[in-house]
Amino acid sequence: MNKQDWKILLVDDEREFITTLAERLDLRGIATRVVFDGESALSAVAEEEPQVMILDVLMPGIKGLEVLERVKRTNPNVQVLLLTGHGSTRDGIEGMRLGAFDYMMKPLNIDTLIEKMESAIDYAEKAAKLGQ
C-alpha cells in the first residue's frame, strides 16, 4: 500500500509535539488526522476507522490505555502504536497486553516510527486476508 493511502490518527494532548509530528509525516507523503484527547480519538475512530493510531499514554481525561482498550473492543483491526514518555516502559508493556501493536518512547525517531507504522499496516492487511 502506498504511503499516501495510509489512514493514520495521531492522538496526544501535547499540541506542539503532535502538530509538528503531523507536519513531519506530511513532508514524507503521509497524511494524518490529529486529535488532542481521548474522547476526540474515540469519536475520530467511530467516524472513519484508521489503519494505525499513534496514541499517547498520559493524557488528561480518558487515558491512553483506556482509549486503547475501548478501540480494540469496537475496532479490533485498528493497529495502535503507544507513545510513552518519562521512562515508563510499564505502560507500554501493559498496552501490549491490551492489544497495542507496539510502543515507542518519546522523543521519537521519525524513521523508526514510519517503519513501525508500515509494519502495523502490513500486519493488519495480512490479518484481514486470513480473516476472509
The span from the CA of 56 to the CA of 48, in Å, is 19
Cα 70 to the chain's mean position, in Å?
Answer: 14
Cell readout for 20 is 509538528
The whole-number pLDDT of residue 128 equals 80
pTM equals 0.95
Cα end-to-end span (Å), the chain: 19
What is the reported pLDDT for 132?
A: 54
Domain segments of the chain: what residues?
Answer: 3-131
In which element (H, E) is residue 17 found?
Answer: helix 15-27
CATH class label, 3-131: alpha beta
Picking from 67, 105, 112, the residue whose alpha carbon sits closest to that of residue 86 is 105
What is the mean pLDDT of each successive set of 10 residues along the chain, which is 132 residues long? 92 96 97 98 97 95 96 96 81 92 93 97 88 64
